[in-house]
Amino acid sequence: MRYYKTPSTLQRVFSSFVWKIPQEKPTIYLTFDDGPIPELTPWVIEVLKEYKAKATFFCVGDNIQKHSAIFRNLIIDEEHSIGNHTYSHLNAWKTDRKIYLQDIQDCQKEIEKRNGNTRFFRPPYGKLNFYLRTEIQKNYQIVLWDVLSYDFDEQLSRENCLKNVLKNTENGSIIVFHDNIKATRNLIYTLPRLIEHFGEKGFVFDKL
């Protein structure tokens, strides 16, 4: 079953994770997973700049290494937040835990090489186990989400992508988008319309 909005029961059971952050002033937290890539990340940065919005980028270490200028000159210099998304986009349910933890460290090294820093981690696919959760929380806040856009689903129409995100977003929502190739069509349609819609209602878009 597809959940655009994370069930409140799940958020309560795993209360040590960050799911949403309600604020006195209505605030939305845009997050982007998997980048940076030259095909999409610069466009995302430009849209955010146009609307004076801030966001958090959960970056894959391998993409930071390949596209370091985008990471440094756009994400860091434009003062967006950074999150660790492992070096190789690993699935924790299918990876030896020592390899997984090393992959996180490798991503962290790529971030720090370019004068970045982060205390946020998001597991690829949202998958972790108890041991990894305990170890990772020694060094990071684990950030999941309140709203998942499914922008990466190429079978989902762009209109429905926007509709579902608008329907489920509220004050404090952490929304997951992706700056990867599969998400391009849905993201390009949805992101500016989402920002305009909630901006007209007095919401601000902040980084974690």
Q: Which one is catalytic: 33, 103, 146, 179?
A: 33
Residue 154: Cβ-neighbour burial (10 angstroms; 0-12, 13-18, 19+): exposed
Residue with the two structure tokens 């950074």? 82
178 flagged as catalytic: yes
| Contacts of 193 by beta carbon, 8 Å cutoff, 6+ apart | 162
Q: Is 76 helix (H, G, I), strand (E, B) or coil?
A: helix
Q: Which amino acid is at 169?
A: T
Q: Which amino acid is at 75?
A: I
Q: Which amino acid is at 1?
A: M
Tell how strand 55-59 and strand 27-33 pair up.
Answer: parallel
The rounded distance, in Å, linking the Cα atoms of 136 and 128 is 10
Q: Which one is catalytic: 67, 85, 178, 179?
A: 178
33 flagged as catalytic: yes
The rounded distance, in Å, linking the Cα atoms of 106 and 99 is 10
Residue with the two structure tokens 């029961």? 9
Q: Which amino acid is at 44?
A: V
| Residues known to be catalytic | 33, 178
